Structure 1
């Protein structure tokens, strides 16, 4: 492995000439499935927030801290754990993360108060970063000319996990009458991966051993060296902020007038967004063919259209379903395009590049969750939608100015 210090100029992009992918389909499917199950731990609590508020006797805005803690914890894990994938033994790293996440879920299931649940959520979200280790690993195994498809395959797993987890947790809580059951189910699924996933990973990245301090210390230099990374980070943060604001407030919107719907309905919106989640698989292949910027543009149009529909038809279930599909497709496609761009910069430091991109995205997500909840509490659904439009404006300006960044 080369030194963690990047050169002053980014390396040239790999040739687009076709080559045979080194990532076999069974492994790609396993990576996608594992990504779905682990990323679900970030999102499945969102439809439960109203039930958590009632069960722990706290306000809805206080319960929203769970969604924010999940985003902050994930960002911390991306910053502190994912860089290890450039140097650590991948199998040992995956096993450790899965065991720690399972333990965190069990503590959350038994939490007697909001403070304990928030701390447990922060901790388990810090260790459930395996999808962001699998994405650069898959891109490296796939080889030049196939990285977009590899990222797209893992991306569909992440999208399905983030969307269907809401449906599953809402259904489990609705059937059992207890939000804690959803945490127990998540613990069982995450723990089961310990027996499957590690053996599918390469033992390590190979090359020289890099001290942890050097891995972390190289991150600021990578930001300075790669304009394409900064471009992707801005797009990822703004779009994901809007996405997170929507999901952090949907349960409260559905519980209030004119709907009066329970937690299971909030979870069903993950299922309603399934068509868009499946369609987003094309984003990786399209990024290989037309370039990431083209996919980013299409994605931003879809997300903007989503909030237009959600704002105009916020009191209609049909409009909410249409808006959800536009939002899921646009956000997922945007993330795939951004990661394809980032992984073209330097193959030797892909995990750290992904760390920086995802750190920006999930920092945006945490800000979006917190801001969306505050706007909804003060100005209702319309205020939340307008706030999301404010998140998207910088992304539109960046896309208009960043034509040279691909």
Structure 2
């Protein structure tokens, strides 16, 4: 995004702070991933049981998006975000002091259900400038989001190893969210609370929005790509701890840092969306993921260098596709953007939960090669969906002509 964008009615540095907020909040649901092997040992459970923590966070995030984010279309965003962040802090502290897996799962569900602040901020931010900058605004905040996902693993893995406990990252994250809670409200744009639609009416209105073909396409593509993304990241800690590498949680966390360059290319995806439209950027995204699959299957089982390339391609493919998908749906009616984003993100994180769950079982059965083939099949399905949408669009244009 460039300095030429003129934001309306907000303080200087607002977009940067909103991007940071997206990253900090979404990080809370990914802290567990590099810690899964240590959680299993500490709580005396199997790896597949420990992997349920990653699954529950995806499910919880989906529930939060479904039942909380629609309020963005009818509530004061400042009050809504304060409420969500306060509950996230309580969940983080609950996770830090969990004595059993059951308590940790409950705390993780609380964290994930209330930390969906980014999904309130992103549609809100698209109202701050003209539609010609929509792709770049989504890209800026989505970059913060994906950097939070990636760097949360680095932060979590390293702090756990240095401080000698998998519980430490949850305490530190609670402190970060508390600091953000004190700063963020002053930068949020002031909006009059819309009248005339209550909470139940908002929820009841969601199914009717599924009529939009742009939303259908974005949801299907995102389900597939985020399932692939989650399957790889949920199994990476186990892969690095296997005899092929014998590495601990800090190494698993560092892969979030090694994958950051791929995520940092996302702002260019936003510019391409504004110039070429979302479909072409979705195609670029799927090409990156296809190369990721090939490298992971061929060399990722034994080479750390190959794994670094894999996570960069994975992060770029997921992030660029996300920018294209959200820019597509935010081009629809402005007054329903919160609910459109709700439906889109529910399906996205349903894909994430599916990928983490299936990936955990495939890892136990077929190891790294099984994860690679899962990713490959998901890419094929996404490509077929995009091609079918392109063909349908072309046939409609010809019929209209």
- Do they fold alike, i.e. is TM over 0.5? yes
1:248 aligned residue? 234
Map 1:299-318 → 2, pairs under 5 A: 299-314=285-300, 315-318=302-305
Pairs aligned (count): 388
1:128-166 superposed Cα distances (whole Å, 9 cap, x missing partner): 000010000001112321111110110110011000110
1:244-302 superposed Cα distances (whole Å, 9 cap, x missing partner): 00000000000002100011000000010111111112111111111011110000110
2:248 aligned residue? 262
Residue 283 of structure 1: which of 269, 273, 278 is its match?
A: 269
Q: Distance in 1 between matches of 2:172 and 2:196?
A: 38
Partner-residue secondary structure (3-state), 1:146: helix
1:14 aligned residue? none
Residue 324 of structure 1: which of 290, 311, 321 is its match?
A: 311
1:193 aligns with 2:180: yes
Higher alpha-carbon deviation: 306-315 or 238-247 = 306-315
Contact 1:19/1:144 (8 A) holds in 2: no
1:66-125 superposed Cα distances (whole Å, 9 cap, x missing partner): 000010000000000000001101111011011000000000000000000011101110
1:163 aligned residue? 150
- Could you tell me how far 1:32 is from its partner in structure 2? 0.2
Map 1:128-147 → 2, pairs under 5 A: 128-147=115-134
User: Structure 1: 5+ residue runs without aligned partners?
Assistant: 1-17
Map 1:226-245 → 2, pairs under 5 A: 226-245=212-231
Query: TM-score, with normalisation over the residues of structure 1?
Result: 0.93
Residue 113 of structure 2: which of 104, 107, 126 is its match?
A: 126
Q: Distance in 2 between matches of 1:105 and 1:44?
A: 10
2:399 aligned residue? none
Q: Distance in 2 between matches of 1:201 and 1:257?
A: 49
Question: RMSD over aligned Cα, in angstroms?
Answer: 1.4
Q: Distance in 2 between matches of 1:405 and 1:43?
A: 37
1:93 aligned residue? 80
Partner-residue secondary structure (3-state), 1:184: helix
Query: TM-score, with normalisation over the residues of structure 2?
Result: 0.94
Q: Distance in 2 between matches of 1:261 and 1:142?
A: 46
1:15-45 superposed Cα distances (whole Å, 9 cap, x missing partner): xxx9844366510001001111001011121
- Could you tell me how far 1:308 is from its partner in structure 2? 1.2
1:382 aligned residue? 369
CA spacing shift, 1:24–1:401, aligned 2, 3 Å? farther
1:221 aligned residue? 208
